[in-house]
Amino acid sequence: MTSPHPSNANPPSTASSSPRSPEERSGDATRERILDAAENVFAKQGFHGTSLRDLAEAAGVTRSLIHHHFGSKEGLWIAVADRLFETYRAWQSSILREGAFGIEGFEESIRQFFLFLESSPNFVRLRAWTNAAQSAETPHRDLALLGVDRLRELQACGEIRSDIDPASALIGLFNLVEHWFQARTTLENRLGETLPGNHEFLEDLVRILIRGIRPCDGET
Protein backbone atom coordinates (compact mmCIF):
# COMPACT_ATOMS: atom_id res chain seq x y z
CA MET A 1 0.00 0.00 0.00
CA THR A 2 1.38 3.39 -0.96
CA SER A 3 0.84 5.94 1.71
CA PRO A 4 1.62 9.58 0.88
CA HIS A 5 2.40 10.36 4.53
CA PRO A 6 4.26 7.46 6.12
CA SER A 7 5.86 9.60 8.83
CA ASN A 8 2.83 9.75 11.09
CA ALA A 9 1.52 6.22 11.16
CA ASN A 10 -0.46 6.47 14.36
CA PRO A 11 -3.87 4.94 14.68
CA PRO A 12 -6.35 7.75 14.16
CA SER A 13 -8.28 7.54 17.40
CA THR A 14 -6.24 6.09 20.24
CA ALA A 15 -9.04 4.98 22.53
CA SER A 16 -11.36 3.44 19.96
CA SER A 17 -11.50 0.13 21.80
CA SER A 18 -15.28 -0.08 21.80
CA PRO A 19 -16.01 -2.85 19.30
CA ARG A 20 -19.39 -1.59 18.16
CA SER A 21 -18.57 2.09 17.78
CA PRO A 22 -20.56 3.52 14.88
CA GLU A 23 -17.82 6.07 14.20
CA GLU A 24 -15.35 3.32 13.25
CA ARG A 25 -14.11 4.99 10.14
CA SER A 26 -10.71 3.36 10.19
CA GLY A 27 -9.96 1.64 6.94
CA ASP A 28 -7.80 -0.98 8.59
CA ALA A 29 -10.46 -1.94 11.08
CA THR A 30 -13.03 -2.22 8.31
CA ARG A 31 -10.65 -4.37 6.29
CA GLU A 32 -10.28 -6.70 9.23
CA ARG A 33 -14.02 -6.84 9.81
CA ILE A 34 -14.63 -7.73 6.17
CA LEU A 35 -11.88 -10.34 6.25
CA ASP A 36 -13.25 -11.96 9.40
CA ALA A 37 -16.77 -12.16 8.03
CA ALA A 38 -15.66 -13.32 4.59
CA GLU A 39 -13.53 -16.05 6.11
CA ASN A 40 -16.56 -17.57 7.79
CA VAL A 41 -18.85 -17.28 4.79
CA PHE A 42 -16.30 -18.47 2.24
CA ALA A 43 -15.35 -21.42 4.45
CA LYS A 44 -18.99 -22.44 4.68
CA GLN A 45 -20.16 -21.87 1.11
CA GLY A 46 -17.07 -21.84 -1.07
CA PHE A 47 -16.22 -19.23 -3.68
CA HIS A 48 -18.96 -19.82 -6.24
CA GLY A 49 -21.57 -20.48 -3.58
CA THR A 50 -21.01 -17.06 -2.04
CA SER A 51 -22.25 -13.78 -3.47
CA LEU A 52 -20.83 -10.35 -2.83
CA ARG A 53 -24.18 -9.55 -1.25
CA ASP A 54 -23.74 -12.42 1.22
CA LEU A 55 -20.33 -11.10 2.17
CA ALA A 56 -21.48 -7.50 2.50
CA GLU A 57 -24.37 -8.47 4.74
CA ALA A 58 -22.19 -10.69 6.93
CA ALA A 59 -19.66 -7.90 7.37
CA GLY A 60 -22.28 -5.20 7.85
CA VAL A 61 -20.97 -3.07 5.01
CA THR A 62 -22.00 -2.22 1.47
CA ARG A 63 -20.82 -4.07 -1.62
CA SER A 64 -19.02 -0.98 -2.84
CA LEU A 65 -16.90 -0.91 0.27
CA ILE A 66 -15.70 -4.46 -0.34
CA HIS A 67 -14.81 -3.52 -3.86
CA HIS A 68 -13.01 -0.42 -2.59
CA HIS A 69 -10.84 -2.39 -0.18
CA PHE A 70 -10.24 -5.61 -2.10
CA GLY A 71 -10.85 -4.78 -5.74
CA SER A 72 -13.02 -7.74 -6.54
CA LYS A 73 -14.65 -10.83 -5.12
CA GLU A 74 -11.63 -12.85 -6.15
CA GLY A 75 -9.35 -10.32 -4.49
CA LEU A 76 -11.20 -10.80 -1.22
CA TRP A 77 -11.02 -14.59 -1.58
CA ILE A 78 -7.28 -14.41 -2.13
CA ALA A 79 -6.86 -12.08 0.84
CA VAL A 80 -8.79 -14.48 3.06
CA ALA A 81 -6.83 -17.47 1.81
CA ASP A 82 -3.52 -15.66 2.20
CA ARG A 83 -4.24 -14.72 5.79
CA LEU A 84 -5.30 -18.24 6.71
CA PHE A 85 -2.41 -19.81 4.86
CA GLU A 86 0.14 -17.49 6.40
CA THR A 87 -0.99 -18.58 9.86
CA TYR A 88 -0.63 -22.16 8.78
CA ARG A 89 2.78 -21.59 7.25
CA ALA A 90 4.08 -20.03 10.45
CA TRP A 91 2.78 -22.97 12.43
CA GLN A 92 4.24 -25.58 10.15
CA SER A 93 7.55 -23.81 10.00
CA SER A 94 7.85 -23.69 13.77
CA ILE A 95 6.95 -27.37 14.01
CA LEU A 96 9.50 -28.42 11.45
CA ARG A 97 12.33 -26.21 12.63
CA GLU A 98 12.15 -26.24 16.43
CA GLY A 99 10.57 -29.65 16.76
CA ALA A 100 12.55 -32.23 18.67
CA PHE A 101 14.57 -34.57 16.53
CA GLY A 102 14.13 -38.29 16.39
CA ILE A 103 10.99 -40.33 16.22
CA GLU A 104 9.60 -38.32 19.13
CA GLY A 105 9.80 -35.25 16.91
CA PHE A 106 7.75 -37.00 14.28
CA GLU A 107 5.14 -37.97 16.83
CA GLU A 108 5.08 -34.45 18.18
CA SER A 109 4.54 -33.14 14.65
CA ILE A 110 1.45 -35.26 14.29
CA ARG A 111 0.00 -33.97 17.52
CA GLN A 112 0.85 -30.36 16.75
CA PHE A 113 -0.66 -30.52 13.30
CA PHE A 114 -3.77 -32.19 14.67
CA LEU A 115 -4.24 -29.56 17.34
CA PHE A 116 -3.69 -26.76 14.85
CA LEU A 117 -6.36 -28.03 12.49
CA GLU A 118 -8.70 -28.65 15.41
CA SER A 119 -8.35 -25.00 16.35
CA SER A 120 -8.78 -23.68 12.80
CA PRO A 121 -11.97 -25.07 11.27
CA ASN A 122 -12.07 -22.28 8.70
CA PHE A 123 -8.64 -23.24 7.44
CA VAL A 124 -9.73 -26.85 7.13
CA ARG A 125 -12.81 -25.94 5.14
CA LEU A 126 -11.02 -23.54 2.86
CA ARG A 127 -8.47 -26.24 2.13
CA ALA A 128 -11.31 -28.60 1.31
CA TRP A 129 -12.68 -26.14 -1.24
CA THR A 130 -9.33 -25.57 -2.89
CA ASN A 131 -8.76 -29.31 -2.93
CA ALA A 132 -12.05 -29.90 -4.71
CA ALA A 133 -11.37 -27.15 -7.22
CA GLN A 134 -7.79 -28.37 -7.62
CA SER A 135 -6.70 -24.76 -7.68
CA ALA A 136 -3.02 -24.04 -8.01
CA GLU A 137 -2.42 -22.64 -4.54
CA THR A 138 0.87 -21.38 -3.17
CA PRO A 139 3.50 -24.08 -3.43
CA HIS A 140 5.45 -24.02 -0.17
CA ARG A 141 7.72 -26.58 -1.70
CA ASP A 142 10.45 -25.57 0.70
CA LEU A 143 8.61 -26.58 3.84
CA ALA A 144 7.24 -29.82 2.43
CA LEU A 145 10.62 -30.84 1.12
CA LEU A 146 12.18 -29.92 4.46
CA GLY A 147 9.83 -32.37 6.11
CA VAL A 148 10.83 -35.09 3.69
CA ASP A 149 14.50 -34.38 4.42
CA ARG A 150 13.85 -34.67 8.13
CA LEU A 151 12.33 -38.10 7.64
CA ARG A 152 15.12 -39.14 5.32
CA GLU A 153 17.63 -38.33 8.03
CA LEU A 154 15.68 -40.44 10.49
CA GLN A 155 15.66 -43.24 7.98
CA ALA A 156 19.43 -43.02 7.57
CA CYS A 157 19.79 -43.34 11.35
CA GLY A 158 17.71 -46.50 11.32
CA GLU A 159 14.83 -44.88 13.16
CA ILE A 160 12.48 -45.51 10.24
CA ARG A 161 12.19 -48.74 8.28
CA SER A 162 14.15 -48.72 5.07
CA ASP A 163 11.49 -50.20 2.81
CA ILE A 164 9.22 -47.15 2.59
CA ASP A 165 9.57 -43.81 0.88
CA PRO A 166 9.84 -41.03 3.47
CA ALA A 167 7.58 -38.93 1.27
CA SER A 168 4.86 -41.55 1.64
CA ALA A 169 5.12 -41.39 5.40
CA LEU A 170 4.92 -37.61 5.38
CA ILE A 171 1.98 -37.57 3.00
CA GLY A 172 0.25 -40.20 5.08
CA LEU A 173 0.64 -38.10 8.18
CA PHE A 174 -0.72 -34.93 6.66
CA ASN A 175 -3.48 -36.62 4.70
CA LEU A 176 -4.75 -38.56 7.69
CA VAL A 177 -4.96 -35.57 9.96
CA GLU A 178 -6.37 -33.15 7.40
CA HIS A 179 -8.94 -35.52 5.98
CA TRP A 180 -10.10 -36.50 9.44
CA PHE A 181 -11.41 -32.99 9.93
CA GLN A 182 -12.56 -32.53 6.35
CA ALA A 183 -14.58 -35.73 6.34
CA ARG A 184 -15.83 -35.57 9.91
CA THR A 185 -19.39 -34.66 8.99
CA THR A 186 -19.63 -37.48 6.47
CA LEU A 187 -18.14 -39.92 8.94
CA GLU A 188 -20.63 -38.90 11.59
CA ASN A 189 -23.45 -39.74 9.22
CA ARG A 190 -21.96 -43.10 8.45
CA LEU A 191 -20.68 -44.27 11.80
CA GLY A 192 -22.82 -42.40 14.28
CA GLU A 193 -21.81 -43.01 17.86
CA THR A 194 -19.24 -45.52 16.67
CA LEU A 195 -17.14 -42.57 15.50
CA PRO A 196 -14.23 -42.01 17.88
CA GLY A 197 -13.77 -38.64 19.54
CA ASN A 198 -11.08 -36.27 18.39
CA HIS A 199 -8.56 -37.26 21.03
CA GLU A 200 -9.26 -40.98 20.85
CA PHE A 201 -8.69 -40.90 17.11
CA LEU A 202 -5.50 -38.88 17.50
CA GLU A 203 -4.06 -41.38 19.95
CA ASP A 204 -4.97 -44.37 17.75
CA LEU A 205 -3.53 -42.59 14.75
CA VAL A 206 -0.23 -41.91 16.52
CA ARG A 207 -0.02 -45.54 17.67
CA ILE A 208 -0.68 -46.89 14.18
CA LEU A 209 1.60 -44.51 12.33
CA ILE A 210 4.54 -44.74 14.73
CA ARG A 211 4.56 -48.52 14.76
CA GLY A 212 3.89 -48.58 11.03
CA ILE A 213 7.01 -46.67 10.11
CA ARG A 214 9.42 -48.12 12.69
CA PRO A 215 11.74 -50.93 11.68
CA CYS A 216 11.12 -54.41 13.01
CA ASP A 217 13.37 -55.73 15.76
CA GLY A 218 16.73 -56.59 14.28
CA GLU A 219 15.98 -54.71 11.08
CA THR A 220 18.29 -51.94 9.98
List contacts with DNA (CB under 7 A). 2-8, 10-13, 16-18, 20, 22-27, 30, 50-54, 61-65, 67-69, 72-74
Q: Shortest distance, CB of residue 48 to DNA, whole angstroms?
A: 8
Q: Do 57 and 138 meet the contact criterion of CB atoms below 8 Å apart?
A: no
Nearest one of 163, 178, 179 to 212, comparing CA atoms: 163
In the complex with its own copies, the residue whose CB is nearer, 115 or 146, is 146
3-state secondary structure of 122: helix
In the complex with its own copies, the residue whose CB is nearer, 17 or 185, is 185
Pick the stretch among 29-37, 89-97, 101-109, 187-195 that binds its own copies (CB under 8 A).
187-195
Select the residue interacting with its own copies from 65, 69, 148, 198 (CB under 8 A): 148
Select the residue interacting with its own copies from 68, 141, 146, 158 (CB under 8 A): 141
Show the binding pattern over residues 49-78: x = contacts its own copies (CB under 8 A), - = does not: x-----------------------------
Nearest one of 107, 70, 74 to 211, comparing CA atoms: 107
Rounded to whole angstroms, how far apart are CA atoms 178 and 188? Answer: 16
In the complex with its own copies, the residue whose CB is nearer, 30 or 92, is 92
Question: Which residues are CB-contacts of 112 (< 8 A; sequence separation ≥ 6)?
Answer: 91, 95, 99
Nearest one of 88, 90, 110, 86 to 100, comparing CA atoms: 110
Q: Shortest distance, CB of residue 83 to DNA, whole angstroms?
A: 18
220 binding its own copies? (CB under 8 A): no
Which of left, alpha, beta for 217 (phi over 0: left; psi -120 to 50: alpha)? Answer: beta
